[in-house]
Structure 1
Amino acid sequence: MENFKQLGVKDNFVKAISELNIIQPTEIQNQVIPLLLQGNTDLVAQAQTGTGKTAAFGLPLLHRIVAKSKEVQGLILCPTRELGQQIAKQLFKFTKYSDKIFVESVFGGVQIEPQISALRRPTHIVVATPGRLIDLVKRKAVDLRKVKTVILDEADEMLSMGFKKELDEILTMLPAIESKWLFSATMPDGIQKIVKRHLSGQAIKIEINKKRQVNRNIDHQFLICEEKEKLHILIQMLNADPKARGVVFCKTKSAAQTLAKQLQAKNIAADAIQGDLKQVERDKVMRAFKKENLRILVATDLAARGIDIEALAFVVHYQLPDKDEYYTHRSGRTARAGNRGISLALITSPEIKQIRWFEKTLGISFKQIRRSK
């Protein structure tokens, strides 16, 4: 389809998303939106981060909400605070010209009382991390008895964070449920078990071609060097364009923390987000980065889930990811809102095999660059 109106999206939502420069549907949106607008159904969709999933499930969900009713009718489960806040923010923007649909984001790592207070207001959709949602249910702060649609976003990440028990518990406490929509980048055994246990045998299954998922405005590059040379090359690159801002990815928490300190020692405004940070510390780093008090964010793959910052010139893979979907997620931090961006991998000679693998599985092309003298 060429536009969202042809997919069946109401004019008031089309007007709102057009102002966000969401004009031409992505593949996941093309396939999912018409199906979900038809009526009650269970759906299993395999698609990477950064492919437009929020609009793919968010627009059909908004169509299903009865604004005059004050009950929670939609539930979205996601792995991290940042992703939850991002989803809630997007849904709010989608409703600019529609009846007021109220969305509340709740998550762990912060005091629960303000969230309990917020949920006393009329709330139509709750976006939640699984653990915090169960805490709120036990305190009778949120009523899920009228929820008709539940969405699991980035289900594989929720499993990898140890939320299987919580997901099973939540999915069995929804007496009025009519539709269950699961979105996941990968389909490990744990996801298959959830699908088999909680979704109907007639659930529609959709898998988006990996080779169509990577943003075409990204220039993929790699530079071959020794491991001990990476820091010097990264600093050289950053000094060559002092105004350019970006994210540098590491595989481990300790590597991210060490690299951030090394960059700080070279007077580069950098800091790290990784899993061991307390929520208040993480929030402080993200605020500084968004306000441009920090130039470089050093991140691990899981910690970077849900961050949404525009105008980033580049991402650097200081350590290559193990999975191709992680590469898609990492590189998708740049080239937003129609801009071009650079995804640079600093690799050792043996890792060229992994670059060729990404080219093959993701349908992208890498350009080798040489280090400057």
Structure 2
Amino acid sequence: MQTFKETGLPEEILSAIGELGYETPTPIQSKTIPEILNYGNDLIALAQTGTGKTGAFGLPVIPQIKTEEKNVQALILCPTRELCLQITKDLQKYAKNYRDLFITPVYGGTEIRTQIKALKRGSHIVVGTPGRMNDLINRKAIQLGDVRWLILDEADEMLNMGFKDDLESIMAQTPEWRQTLLFSATMPPEIARMSKNYMQEPVEISVGTKNQGAENVEHHYYMVQAHDRYRALKRIVDVTPDVYGIIFCRTRQETKDIADKLMADGYNADALHGDLSQAQRDLVMHRFRKKHLQLLVATDVAARGIDVNDLTHVINYNLPDDIEVYIHRSGRTGRAGKEGIAVTIIHSREMHRIKAIEKIAKKSFERKMVPKADEICEKQLFHFLDRVGKTELEESSPVNALLPALYEKLESIDKEQLIKQFVAAEFNRFMEYYQNAPDLNIYKEERGGKGGRREGRGGRDRGNASFSRLFLNIGKTDKLTSGEVIGLINSNMRGTTVKIGKIELLRNFSFVEVDKEYEQELITKLNKAKLKGKKVSLEVASPKPSGRKRDRDGGGRRHGGGRRQY
């Protein structure tokens, strides 16, 4: 295995990174460092986020800076403020033994005059976002005529964010003899065109395959009805008590809605989107990095440049339109040699998109079933007990003074009863919430048209049961879902497994097939219930006629023999 010393780095750099605990270069570092140190060729480096790209360009550039000259010699462009600050922080650590070397970050969302003053004092390396760099150039606050290294970090992200014109304008201010280093996670056509127009016979270095997903990430998907996405999300989170991840949504509004729902439901979550001020964004990111938040709900644009190494999960509330965006999302977990999981919630008509991602990213997706109530409650209970078991009680703890009174209070309760009451007190509300929760999974192999979900106790499985078709006076105008119909049946038939067949949700009413054995018992019990704020009316309907079109909802009711006929 190659060491940093074998890459040709000088002792000042080796000493600094040795103190940071770095011993061996990552694959991208071992390939790029000698190239930048020794040959001076333009370079295209393809590697996922979290693979050590800052070290790949920073470690070989720093020792080549001429500190006696007070001009800008290296310009690093990146897509976001967060990434700009992170790169600057890393470079300052690498350069700790070069006391006369100055590094300046420039980015939007903060006072430009402060950055102009820093540049006037002299800076050898400038790290900036494209928009702010162009502002500084237009104000003649920065000169780029002596730039020896032009580095584009996350070039594909900058192009995706619409910085193409800014990048071209900035590159035009740099000398033609510069060395251009382009780092990207994917290789879209725009990158190829840029390399052709602005680079001279670049050497291409790739870790893994172009557009391939990160190696340490498992890819899971859950298939549910579109209206069950949020309930599925909660169950996925509940069955993973130690989750620390980002939930990606399509729009700002969806981001706000999902974050608000999670917070209202008691989850440790917050939102990151374009409507936040820079101060609000910084506060959210500070809490997330300190793990005071477990879940960050974000859009792709808002999440760009987030640099967090310990994410356990990336959750796609919706699949992105661009497969390369999926690769970027999933690459935010499984970083720095750790393992991660990328989760996607889809509906039945999106399976072809999973197949497309598998083909391009060269990754296999594993179908997972949305966890059911017993699995979630068991997981949460044992997680809680593990935390209790790992809690250290110091001698100075005020709890010690209360122990004699506690022992006296509990001495009349035997051990088994105490455990039962302890668990009930802690988990009753949680278990009651999930007591009659329906199965949210769509079972693809049973899908026929829009149907095919197997739900309820024993599932929507006709088996050998004889079914009765019942009329329910609540329908789509009441925003009724199939899951709520099943929940209504289960909650009123506790202790009894009732097989459920087809559920038809119409505009003003619905039909549900149930095991004929429980027909009268269901009618008796459910006609005492309420659903969606309405008193339930349930009665036997005629079997659905074969060979004729379904009558339009709301027309032609005929009564005969106590049965509704349609």
Q: Is the 8 A contact 1:150 1:177 kept in 2?
A: no
2:226 & 2:357 partners in 1: Cα distance? 21
- Name the SS of the counterpart of 1:2 in structure 2: coil
Structure 1 residue runs of 5 or longer lacking an equivalent are none
Letter in 2 for 1:253: R
Q: Kindly state the Cα deviation for residue 255 of structure 1 after the two structures are TM-superposed.
A: 2.2
Higher mean displacement: 176-185 or 245-254: 176-185
Residue equivalent to 2:249: 250
Write the deviation string for residues 8-44 of structure 1: whole angstroms up to 9, x where unpaired. 2234323433454544433332332221111332223
1:265 & 1:133 partners in 2: Cα distance? 41
Residue equivalent to 1:346: 345
Pairing of 1:153-192 with structure 2 (within 5 A)? 153-175=153-175, 177-192=177-192
Letter in 1 for 2:320: P
1:50 matches 2:50 = yes
Pairing of 1:253-268 with structure 2 (within 5 A)? 253-268=252-267
Q: Kindly state the Cα deviation for residue 114 of structure 1 after the two structures are TM-superposed.
A: 1.9
Across the aligned residues of Structure 1 and Structure 2, the Cα RMSD in angstroms comes to: 2.7
Pairing of 1:205-354 with structure 2 (within 5 A)? 205-210=204-209, 214-354=213-353
Residue equivalent to 1:199: 199
Structure 2 residue runs of 5 or longer lacking an equivalent are 373-566
Q: Kindly state the Cα deviation for residue 107 of structure 1 after the two structures are TM-superposed.
A: 0.8
Q: Is the 8 A contact 1:211 1:364 kept in 2?
A: no
CA distance change for structure 1 residues 217 and 23 in 2, over 3 Å: closer, same or farther?
farther
1:70 & 1:64 partners in 2: Cα distance? 14
Q: Kindly state the Cα deviation for residue 215 of structure 1 after the two structures are TM-superposed.
A: 4.3
Q: Is the 8 A contact 2:50 2:336 kept in 1?
A: no
Letter in 2 for 1:344: V
Residue equivalent to 2:475: none
Higher mean displacement: 62-71 or 206-215: 206-215
Q: Kindly state the Cα deviation for residue 344 of structure 1 after the two structures are TM-superposed.
A: 1.8
Residue equivalent to 2:76: 76
Q: Which has the higher contact order (CA 8 A, sep 6+)?
A: 1
Letter in 1 for 2:308: I
- Name the SS of the counterpart of 2:126 in structure 1: strand
Q: Kindly state the Cα deviation for residue 126 of structure 1 after the two structures are TM-superposed.
A: 0.3
Q: Kindly state the Cα deviation for residue 123 of structure 1 after the two structures are TM-superposed.
A: 1.7
Residue equivalent to 2:535: none
Q: Kindly state the Cα deviation for residue 128 of structure 1 after the two structures are TM-superposed.
A: 0.8
1:91 & 1:223 partners in 2: Cα distance? 41
Letter in 1 for 2:77: L
Higher mean displacement: 206-215 or 30-39: 206-215
Q: Percent identity?
A: 45
Q: Kindly state the Cα deviation for residue 111 of structure 1 after the two structures are TM-superposed.
A: 1.8
TM-score, L = length of structure 2: 0.60
Q: Kindly state the Cα deviation for residue 3 of structure 1 after the two structures are TM-superposed.
A: 2.6
- Name the SS of the counterpart of 2:303 in structure 1: coil
Higher mean displacement: 13-22 or 231-240: 13-22
1:14 & 1:366 partners in 2: Cα distance? 41
Q: Is the 8 A contact 2:258 2:297 kept in 1?
A: yes
Letter in 2 for 1:303: A
Write the deviation string for residues 206-264 of structure 1: whole angstroms up to 9, x where unpaired. 34433796444433322222222221122223334545321111233332222112212
Pairing of 1:131-142 with structure 2 (within 5 A)? 131-142=131-142
2:236 & 2:270 partners in 1: Cα distance? 17
Letter in 1 for 2:57: F
Q: Kindly state the Cα deviation for residue 132 of structure 1 after the two structures are TM-superposed.
A: 0.7
Q: Is the 8 A contact 1:79 1:157 kept in 2?
A: yes
2:159 & 2:96 partners in 1: Cα distance? 34
Q: Kindly state the Cα deviation for residue 70 of structure 1 after the two structures are TM-superposed.
A: 2.6
1:206 & 1:282 partners in 2: Cα distance? 35
- Name the SS of the counterpart of 1:45 in structure 2: strand
Aligned residues: 372
CA distance change for structure 1 residues 26 and 324 in 2, over 3 Å: closer, same or farther?
farther
1:347 & 1:110 partners in 2: Cα distance? 39
1:66 matches 2:66 = yes
CA distance change for structure 1 residues 17 and 183 in 2, over 3 Å: closer, same or farther?
same
Letter in 1 for 2:63: H
TM-score, L = length of structure 1: 0.88
Q: Is the 8 A contact 2:249 2:316 kept in 1?
A: yes
Q: Is the 8 A contact 1:150 1:179 kept in 2?
A: yes
1:109 & 1:351 partners in 2: Cα distance? 38
Q: Is the 8 A contact 2:185 2:328 kept in 1?
A: no
Q: Kindly state the Cα deviation for residue 124 of structure 1 after the two structures are TM-superposed.
A: 1.3
Residue equivalent to 2:110: 110
CA distance change for structure 1 residues 68 and 14 in 2, over 3 Å: closer, same or farther?
same
Higher mean displacement: 300-309 or 207-216: 207-216
Letter in 1 for 2:296: L
Q: Is the 8 A contact 1:145 1:174 kept in 2?
A: yes
